Structure 1
Amino acid sequence: MTPPNSTAASRHHKRPRGEGQWALGYHEPLNKNEENKKNDDGLNVRQRIIDIYSKRGFDSIDPADLRGRMRWYGLYTQRKPGIDGGKTAILEPEELDDRYFMLRVRIDGGQLSLEQLRVIADISNDYGRGTADVTDRQNIQLHWIEIEAVPDIWERLEAVGLSTTEACGDTPRVILGCPLSGIDTEELIDTTAAIREVHDRFIGDPAYSNLPRKFKSAISGCPAHCTVHEINDVAFVAVTKDGEVGYDLFVGGGLSTNPMFAKRIGVFVRPDQVADVYGGVIGIFRDYGYRRLRHRARIKFLVNDWGVEKFREILETEYLKEQLPDGPAPEEPRGNRRDHVGVHQQKDGNFYVGFAPKVGRLDGDKLHLIANLAEKYGSRRVRATVEQKMVILDVAPDQVEGLVAELEANDLKVSPSTFRRQTMACTGIEFCKLAIVETKATGIHLIEEMERRLPDFKDPLTININGCPNSCARIQVADIGLKGQLVVNDKGEQVEGFQIHLGGSLGTNANFGRKVRGLKTTVEGLPDYVERVVTNFESQKKEGESFSDWVQRADEGDLK
């Protein structure tokens, strides 16, 4: 007879490991990240930064705070200069860490007053060596921040209604919104109030500050679908049902190394229900999200495993305690560009002016210039877009020409080339500890080269440049997506380069980019490659055919 304490008996009675879902009883720390969060909520690091770290300096920072909880306030250590991409995955975190931080200012809905923009500009110049990058999630990132400066930075930001709270970390991050909310002539609904309510109810609330991973959100009434709802963890997209405006609900989108499009839940959400439904979705993620393995901890994996029907059932029965009616899908997106660049009329008769910095790269002085130009030409409101661009609102008809002329004179193009308009780049190896290659300078050089080589090219063409496989720059849904890696050049040397994804798209025919076997380029050879593939497209395209559609039918030889 087998003793009751034998291995066989233990196996028989042992509880299955599961995926670390709290709602199913798995609360034990399952990996180092979960252990750190269980030991102390990330929100609690704020007071230690103010009372201890900012006074005693970088060396006083607890490693669990430095590489974990400080992200809850938008702070990442930046990459130590001079470490090449081949060492990114080899060195320990403390070997990659510089003594300076990237600081992410969250700008929900991309909405900025001139006062707020000037405060960010001053912080950039006073503490960030002039750095300021507009991200593809409507934030502004600063670099070279020292821990001693952080309390003063927070005071300045919070005095004008901005913050860095939960700009990073396993939290509900910035809420994307159309930069034209309230002024677009064709929008279905102004989402400003909905974004504000969700922000005020959930951001900084300890009940939602320990999620399995990051949680990305969008709420939009934009007819161009500019908030890329297809790749957010949760998204509310304006629709009309029986004459009433509300929202369609999407859940489970995300890219990185395992991309998935968000799935329509199929419900109609009234405007007054948005915050409650948001709370239900984020509650499901908190309680049922996978915590055992970090790489499977995004909500997209849960939605993919459960399916839409089960997700809807759990949302309605356990969290909302009410049934939601079935709802219609959104209309097809307006136009073939989502960036709001150019001069367009608002519903009040004034105009908005959208302009394109190169790959989102600005600086403190340029932010001051933008604020001064906006004020000079009658505007008090500036917006950031999800394409690393900016928009000045409320310009009177007789002021538009002067504003456009001054923006263009300062290299803030209102009528940019396709290459300037639709090339994005992540932070890259200049500052990011995950990166393998340089991105911003590469993107700027590529834009300049393509404008010189193909000055007459007018078709929409997105070129997204990422320094690593994590897809912060959305490479899988770009016409030309560039994933940074080390490649071998024709001399047999290992150099910076990219794996190339082709023909990704969002909108009507959403699909992830095509990977052609062996299709890579060095950084040096990138302009030649882009010129070659774009020229092939121009010579072979059918009437009205997009680059993405052409890629799906093109011979591999024409894509290389």
Structure 2
Amino acid sequence: MTQAPERTTRHTRPTRTQATGAWADGDATPLNHNEEFKAADDGLNVRARIEEVYAKEGFASIPGDDLRGRMRWWGLYTQRKPGIDGGQTATLDPAELDDEYFMLRVRSDGGALSADQLRTIAGISTEFARDTADVTDRQNIQLHWIRIEDVPEIWSRLEAVGLTTAEACGDTPRVILGSPVAGIAADEVLDGTPAVREILERYIGSPEFSNLPRKFKTAVSGSPSLDVAHEVNDVSFVGVVHPEHGPGFDVWVGGGLSTNPMFAQRLGGWVPLEDVPEVWKGVVSIFRDHGYRRLRNRARLKFLMADWGAERFREVLEQDYLGRRLVDGPAPVAPSDQRRDHVGVHPQQDGRFWVGVAPVAGRVSGTTLYAVAELAARHGSGRVRLTPHQKILVLDVPQQEVAGLTAGLDAIDLPVAPSEWRRGVLACTGIEFCKLALVETKARARTVIAEMERRLPDFDVPFTIHVNGCPNACARTQVADVGLKGMVSKDDEGNLVEVFQVHLGGGLGTHPQLARKTRALKVPAEELPDYIERLATRFLEQRDGDEAFATWAHRADEDDLR
């Protein structure tokens, strides 16, 4: 009879046939180059060299380990050199892909920005970033065309208004997702903002967690609409009401997509608001100590969680890091509404309103952001929120100001009542700037949406289209109604063409499920409008009552999905 595996803690770990590089195994010898450069010098230390050397001596003065490694700890990635097609993404040396400009990510944890902060980002965009700006699905803004010579001045301006780029990228705790309507939604279980702030103040920028095996993604939301994609973050705190202890959070660990998609698992523990930072510290400490550092493609927390399971993870957390048991608690209630993007005009608990708009695939500009800041100050309190769905909210709008704000937003191509096509599209950065991408995404998304609005203008069913430039799923392709994963292939004449592998029927929230991959279904980029129109029309023809697209996509005949 096979004996059940022994439960283990930090002190009784199983024997491994191959080293994982986990520090808790007792050997911290770096097993790949990323681990080597992190061990040689903490990524946070690169800031001094940027300010004192690289910004003065220029791009050519930056050594490779700082350029493609440690600078990420301060939100800086080299962007893709123009003119390099997707067929060369995996074949060229990194130095050949590098342009002498950077993408810069600005932290806005919980998506929270004031009008003054947004004006500052907008000014940096117009002065230093060729008027570029993208709202990402990590609730922050990234800029492009940044020169190393301008970085110290950019940091100075950001920090003057309370913003930072610290640990916006790199093997660190990145931007914390939070409900964009925290503290104002009438149906909120509780406001997680104090926990987010405490995590930021205590741990972000600290050497204690500046060398993790890979990136670490956090979400905290007390919204019953499950608006932070908690199933696909490394750790999430989801609002629940305990029958004895009242409002608090349910803890989920080990989610992530990319080439090995996995949903997070519930630990089954209930955490009060004041304990969230302590539990967060415990989870990220487990990742730091036990995470797999040998292979980069297995270094995410989801792989450790898959091997351990929720029961063992909770045991190690309680025994080795918290020193106490968590209170058992209930799972969050599935939301009744499919909507989690907060678009439109909605009442707040204080009698005012929030107004949410949908930039196409998150693409805006500094000019647009400045206009939003001015509108938010004129018609509301000046508070703005970004969402994990690439949307923008203006908060605290008195009823008498809603019409004026709506008109102002419409005038800058941010309609408060967008089409379902526009509302449901999400896209990653794509080949325009990203060195990992194979295909164009932002412009492609805009073209498809414009065409679908022309062809099917009355389509009124929630329908999400997520466009990704590579297999890494930054745009969450596996959990969209239609997920489009960019690839390249050759046509009959031998020309390189952009195509998309199609994933159908994914989703989070009410019915979390990974999308269905249809056998050998790849659509040339130029044919996407035809394909989407065909797919949507068949769905409407075969729809059973108010059936969601994802439900239909999982039951439909394969021929109907082509």
TM band (smaller chain): over 0.9
Give distance in 1, aligned partners of 2:487 and 2:509.
Answer: 29
Q: Which runs of 5+ in 2 are unaligned?
A: 1-14
Within 5 Å, which residues of 2 pair with 1:465-544?
A: 465-489=467-491, 493-544=495-546
Matched, 1:181 2:185: no
Could you tell me which residue of structure 2 aligns to residue 106 of structure 1? 107
CA distance in 1, matches of 2:247, 2:489: 51
In 1, are the aligned partners of 2:497 and 2:524 still within 8 Å (CA)?
yes
CA shift for structure 1 position 408: 1.2
Match of 1:151 in 2: 152
Work out which of the residue numbers 369, 372, 375 in structure 1 matches 2:371.
Answer: 369
Q: Please state how far the C-alpha of 1:409 moved relative to its aligned partner.
A: 2.1
Mapped contact 2:173–2:209 kept (Cα < 8 A): yes
Name 2:7's counterpart in structure 1.
none
Residue identity in the other structure for 1:486? V
How far is 1:494 from its partner? Answer: 2.8
Where 1:524 maps in the other structure, the secondary structure is helix
| Equivalence for 2:92 | 91
* 1:26 Cα deviation after fit: 2.2
Cα-to-partner distance string for 1:375-398 (whole Å, 9 max, x where unaligned): 121331001001111000000011
Deviation, structure 1 residue 91: 0.1
Cα separation, partners in 2 of 1:490 and 1:223, compared to 1, 3 Å: farther
* Distance apart, 1:493 and its partner CA: 3.5
**TM-score normalised by the chain length of structure 2:** 0.96
Structure-1 residue corresponding to 2:54: 53
Within the candidate set 248, 254, 261, 1:246 is matched to 248
1:123 aligns to 2:101 (yes or no): no
Partner of 1:546: 548
Alpha-carbon offset, residue 46 of structure 1: 0.5
2:327 aligns to what SS in structure 1?
A: coil
Say whether the 8 Å CA contact 1:225–1:334 is kept in structure 2: no
* Distance in 2, Cα, partners of 1:405 & 1:396: 15
| Distance in 2 between residues matched to 1:491 and 1:77, nearest whole Å | 34
Aligned to 1:8: none
1:224 equivalent in structure 2: 225
Check conservation: 1:169, 1:214, Cα contact below 8 A. Answer: yes
Letter in 2 for 1:470: N
Q: Distance in 2 between matches of 1:176 and 1:333?
A: 19
Q: Determine the C-alpha separation between the residues in 1 that align with 2:496 and 2:144.
A: 29
> Which residue identity lines up with residue 52 of structure 1 in the other structure?
V
Contact residue 430 and residue 468 of structure 2 kept, 8 A: yes
Number of the residue aligned with 1:19: 20
Task: Compute the displacement of 1:17 (Å).
Answer: 3.5
Which of 509-518 and 126-135 deviates more?
A: 509-518
Q: How far has the Cα of 1:201 moved from its partner? A: 1.2
C-alpha deviation, 1:488, in angstroms: 4.0
Is this contact kept in 2: 1:429–1:439, CA < 8 A? yes
Partner of 1:10: none
Give the corresponding residue for 1:439.
441
Residue 240 of structure 1 aligns to which amino acid in structure 2? V
Match of 1:81 in 2: 82
- Structure 1 range deviating more: 453-462 or 237-246: 237-246
The corresponding residue for 1:7 is none
Cα offsets for 1:436-459 (capped at 9, x unmatched): 000000000011000000011111
AA partner of residue 45 (structure 2): N
Find the aligned partners of 2:16 and 2:464 in 1 and give their Cα distance: 49
The Cα offsets for residues 357-384 of structure 1, whole Å up to 9 and x where unpaired, read as: 1111111110110011111213310010
Counterpart mapping for 1:256-271 below 5 A:
256-271=258-273
Q: Specify the code of the residue in structure 2 equivalent to 1:289.
A: G
Match of residue 279 from structure 2:
277
Shift of 1:334: 4.1
- State the secondary structure of the residue aligned to 1:525: helix
Q: Aligned letter for 1:103?
A: L
Q: Is the 8 A contact 1:484 1:496 kept in 2?
A: yes
| Segment of structure 1 superposing worse, 64-73 or 329-338 | 329-338
**Whole-Å Cα distance in 1 between the matches of residues 16 and 221 of structure 2?**
44
Normalising by structure 1, we get a TM-score of 0.96
Preserved CA contact (<8 Å) 1:223 1:334: no
SS at match of 2:526: coil
Alpha-carbon deviations, 1:475-510, whole Å to 9, x = none? 000000000001344666430111000111112221
Which residue is equivalent to 2:236?
235
User: How far off its partner does 1:84 sit?
Assistant: 0.3
Q: CA deviation at 1:343?
A: 0.1
